[in-house]
Amino acid sequence: MIVSVLNKHLISATILLAFAFSLLTLPGCGSNKKENEIVIWHNMRPEEKNVIQEQLDEFMKLHPGIKVIQLYKETEEMRSGYIVAAIGGEGPELIYGPSDQVGPFTEMEIIKPLETVFSQEYFSDYNKDALIYTNNSLWMIADKLGNHLTLVYNKDLLPVPPKTEKELIESGMKLTKDFNNDGRTDQYGLVWNYTEPYFFVPFLTGFGGWVLDSLNQPTLNTPAMVAGLKFIQDLRDKYKIIPNEADYDIADVLFKEGKAAMIINGDWSWSSYGNAGINYGISTLPYITVSGHYATPMVAPKGYSINVNVDDEKLAKVRMLLEFLLSSEKQLETSLEVKTFPSRTELYNDPRLLNDEILLNSKKQIEQGRALPIVTEMRAIWDAMRPSYQAVLGGAITPEKAAQLMQEDAVKKIREMREDVDNPVWGLIVQVLMLLIVLAALFFTRKSIVAFFRSFKKNTFAYFLVLPALVIMIAVVLYPFIYNIILSFSNMSLSHIHDWKITGFEQYAKVFVEPQFYEFFLKTLIWTFSNITFHVVIGVTLALLLNKKLPGTGIFRTLLILPWAVPQYIVALTWRGMFNYEYGAINLILVKFLSMSPVEWLKSPTEAFMAIIITNIWLGFPFMMIIALGALQSIPQELYEAADLDGARWFNKLKTITIPLIKPVMIPAITLGIIWTFNNINVVWLVSNAGEPSDKTHILVSFVYKAAFNLYRYGYAAAFSVVIFLILFAFGMTFLKRTKATESVY
């Protein structure tokens, strides 16, 4: 019986395989560089995307020979993706985004200077802030000015917006209410994503401070910074007009639900408040009377740059497209539709713009604003401000201390980013060493290689079975591996993207002197082992229960795999919401059903770390459950029956029959589970919002991503990765030796 069923299966399998391979050949053949295609990468929000798509459709109708594709990418991903693609000689023809991306792109020489593409008079009509120059070359032409924060207020709660910080506090206190007197605030005077440095900047400028001086050196340790930090603290602790814990989404939702009278948010958000039924108005941020400055946001033009890899023939088409998209007519269309501010000065007196209350107030705020610096140093500034700022909010350090730490950290990060190691002697030594290692490896394995070819004949069948899988693995992995190992000995960084060379062991030395390395290594160990322990214990327990084949277990089995089936991204963010202090389900359960006090999950490092572990346990147990369920099938029922006859207790059966017999299947899953968890950046990133609070909630991979990759320190990042690899390799060897997993059981 089995045999005939199998034959049928085999036939269908063969057909499937044939089908599969015919599929493989199909889409692979098309050429990928199309002559008449222009691709734009951008980070526009949905409404903007709709507008540009309509404009592109119009353009394509006018020029039937050209196909334009717009692709949305999240800002950070767009940048790293573009860098990778452009270095590889590919990438979109146009890249659209905020002006600060020009900094790294020009240093890496992956965008074209534009003054040669357009004639000088073409630029005469542009707002000068919309033309992004560095080093006497033009790199970006903006079609929108803005990306700026303003004060948004709910007209139903607050008819007249505050003009000064005193009025802000006054109306804030009036509007922060506990309607039912249960000790919980039901309506806030003011909310915003104040834990994020970008959203703090208005209060740095409001007290007369700024982030960089004219030499691009950080200016964070100033009285203005201290005053700004104290002001935020006071809003929260003294006047109590802002929530205790607020990230972007919480602030957003409070304002949308009418539970906050004011929100500080950017031009991207306004229309969504209208859509949510809020009668909102826009006002400039308050004047700070004690300092005599306006609280001013950063203003960033958004515009287009051209990929350096675009050839001359295509450049003409790209120019045509840009002239079309940047024309006054199209800019006006966009402005009226999505409330952004145009870059063509001839539009500034257009009645259609002047009559729009939102655009008018937005313009006032832009005129007060300060341009976001486009130098790459800004990345280091943000990364340096965030941890200390959040530590002040968490009460761990004083504003004075924070200002000092921010400055030191920023100086250090900029130095690291700019660091240029060049050591020809060591470079040569490393190259010789590499060569020697390769030769030695060949020499010492020469007997095995000969033996391999000899045994090939004897063991043809085994090789025939195992080689296809190995060949695919080697093909995919070998080159990236070697590339990274070489990179880890190199000086590849922001200023050496194309001309990097092997310089020696500096990058490794830096990994081990990094004081946080050991802290995050410990955290990674805790993270990995708590996750895997819970995955295995929960997974195996559930599998044992499901395997009892009671009525209804089929339904449970299916429901229990759902955490694995639903895309991780959204459930991880849902979990983040569930951990919210005031509104999250977890605290509500703790308080209502278990009579415990609520936990500030996301505000302190330990609790935030627990939160990411809990989320990942939830995400990972179904997988172990499925594997354990499969493993349990290999145990002959007779063994249990025999044990029952001997009167064995369930615990004994578990210990002597179940565990030893599922071990061969579980060990590979556990080994790989440990490796994957060790390097699992996603959940950490999403739930802790990239390491918050204060960059304490990291494991090694998320740390290397943030501290090295983000600052374009590729050589260092590669060395760090090789260290991670070696740690896992050492672990893997010991673990396998202990469990004897590479050997057969029978």
Partner 1 sequence: MNKKKFLANFLTYIFLIVFTVIALYPIINVFTISIRPDDRLLSTSLSIIPEGATFKQYIELFTNRPFLLWVWNSAIVSFVVTVTGVALASTAGYALSRFQFIGKQVSMLGLLTTQMFPATMLLLPMYIMLIKLQLINSYLGIIIVYSATALPFCVWQMKGYYDTIPFSLEESARIDGCTKWQSFYKIILPLAAPALVITALFSFMTAWSEYIVAAQVLQDTDLYTLPLGLKSFQSNLTTEWGLYAAAALVVSIPVVILFIILSKWLVSGLTLGSVKG
Taking CB under 8 A as the criterion, which residues in 628-657 touch partner 1?
A: 629-631, 633-639
Query: Of the listed pieces 208-216, 230-238, 395-403, 573-581, which binds partner 1 according to CB under 8 A?
Result: 573-581
Which three-class secondary structure state does DSSP give residue 134? strand
CB of 210 to partner 1, least distance (A): 24
CA distance 261 to 96: 34
**Are the C-beta atoms of residues 546 and 621 closer than 8 Å to each other?**
no
C-beta of 145 vs 723, nearer to partner 1: 723
Residue 510 CA to residue 507 CA, distance in Å, equals: 5
281 binds partner 1 (CB under 8 A): no
Give least dist CB 364 to partner 1, A. Answer: 22
The number of beta carbons lying within 10 Å of the beta carbon of residue 677 is: 20
* Paired residues of 212 in beta bridges: 218
| 557 vs 696 by CB, closer to partner 1 | 557
Under the criterion CB under 8 A, does residue 483 sit at the interface with partner 1? Answer: yes
CB nearer to partner 1: pick between 39 and 648: 39
Residue 484 touches partner 1, criterion: CB under 8 A: yes
Taking the complex as a whole, the smallest distance from the CB of residue 573 to partner 1 amounts, in Å, to 6
Cβ–Cβ under 8 Å, residues 628 and 540:
yes
8 Å CB contact between 228 and 207: yes
68-107 residues in contact with partner 1 (CB under 8 A) are 69, 71-75, 77, 81, 84-85, 87-90, 92
Using rule CB under 8 A, residue 701 touches partner 1: yes
- Give the total of residues touching partner 1 (CB under 8 A): 165
**Of residues 116 and 455, the one with the C-beta less far from partner 1:** 455
Measured distance CA(128)–CA(184) in Å, rounded: 49
> Does 249 participate in binding partner 1 (rule CB under 8 A)?
yes
Complex with partner 1: residue 89 or 159, whichever CB lies closer: 89
Positive or negative, the CA dihedral 463, 465, 471, 476 is: negative
Site string for partner 1, 577-616 (x = CB under 8 A): xx-x-xx-x--x----------------------------
Decide if residue 183 touches partner 1 (CB under 8 A): no
The conformational region for residue 420 under phi > 0 = left, psi -120 to 50 = alpha, else beta, is beta
User: Does the footprint of partner 1 cover residue 360 (CB under 8 A)?
Assistant: no
Given the rule CB under 8 A, which of 44-52, 101-109, 127-135, 319-327 is the region that contacts partner 1? 44-52
Q: Is 308 in the site for partner 1 (CB under 8 A)?
A: no
Q: 404: which 2 tokens?
A: 């000092």
CB of 80 to partner 1, least distance (A): 8
Distance (Å, whole) CA 232 – CA 124: 42
The C-alpha atoms of residue 120 and residue 138 are separated, in whole angstroms, by 11
536: left (phi over 0), alpha (psi -120 to 50) or beta: alpha
Residue 624: name the closest of 548, 719, 538, 515 by CA: 538
Among 546, 602, 608, 611, binds partner 1 (CB under 8 A): 546
Give the orientation angle of helix 506-513 with respect to helix 515-546, to 10 degrees.
80
- Which 260-279 positions form the footprint of partner 1 (CB under 8 A)? 266, 268-269, 272, 275-277
Contact 42, 52 (CB under 8 A): yes
Q: Which of 2, 215, 513, 594 binds partner 1 (CB under 8 A)?
A: 2
Segment near partner 1 (CB under 8 A), from 115-123, 410-418, 422-430, 543-551? 543-551
Nearer to partner 1, 317 or 344 (CB): 317
Least separation in angstroms between CB 190 and partner 1: 16
Check residue 127 and give left, alpha or beta (phi > 0: left; psi -120 to 50: alpha).
beta
**Minimal distance, residue 695 CB to partner 1, in Å:** 18
Secondary structure of 178-238 as H, E, C letters: CCCCCCCCCEEEEEECCCCHHHHHHHHHCCCCCCECCCCCECCCCHHHHHHHHHHHHHHHH
Dihedral class, residue 474 (left if φ above 0, else alpha if ψ from -120 to 50, else beta): alpha
Decide whether 126 or 192 has the Cβ nearer to partner 1: 192
Q: 307 phi and psi, to 5 degrees?
A: -60, 135
394 vs 630 by CB, closer to partner 1: 630
Q: Considering beta carbons, is residue 402 or 701 the nearer one to partner 1?
A: 701
Q: Closest approach of Cβ 667 to partner 1, in Å?
A: 6
Q: Is 622 in the site for partner 1 (CB under 8 A)?
A: yes
Q: How far is the CB of 223 from partner 1 (least distance, A)?
A: 31
Nearer to partner 1, 10 or 522 (CB): 10
Give the Cα separation of 274 and 280 in Å (integer): 7
* Helix/strand/coil for 319: helix
Question: Considering only residues 322-351, where is the footprint of partner 1 by CB under 8 A?
Answer: none
Contacts of residue 394, Cβ cutoff 8 Å, sequence gap at least 6: 603, 604, 693, 694
537 binds partner 1 (CB under 8 A): no
Whether the link from the prior residue into 693 is cis, omega within 30° of 0, is yes
Mention every residue, 6+ apart, whose C-beta is less than 8 A from residue 636.
none
Chain CA centroid to CA 384, Å: 17
Q: What is the Cα–Cα distance from 188 to 176, expressed in whole angstroms?
A: 4
Q: Which residues 666-695 are close enough to bind partner 1 by CB under 8 A?
A: 666-669, 671-672, 675-676, 679, 681
Subset of 714-733 contacting partner 1 (CB under 8 A): 714, 717-718, 721, 724-725, 728-729, 732-733
Please pick, from the candidates 3, 425, 594, 645, the single residue that binds partner 1 as defined by CB under 8 A.
Answer: 3
Residue 102 or residue 246: which is nearer to partner 1 going by CB? Answer: 246
Minimum CB–partner distance for residue 93 and partner 1 (Å):
11
Interaction of residue 62 with partner 1, rule CB under 8 A = no
Stretch that binds partner 1, among 17-25, 223-231, 319-327, 501-509 (CB under 8 A): 17-25
Kindly tell me which residue out of 118, 133, 248, 508 binds partner 1, with binding defined by CB under 8 A. Answer: 248
Closest to 718 measured CA to CA, from 398, 444, 487, 556:
487
Between 518 and 556, CB nearer to partner 1: 556
Q: Tokens 């081990």 — which residue?
A: 512
Q: How far apart are CA 222 and CA 212, in angstroms?
A: 11
Closest separation in Å from C-beta 376 to partner 1: 19
Comparison of 141 and 246: residue with beta carbon closer to partner 1? 246
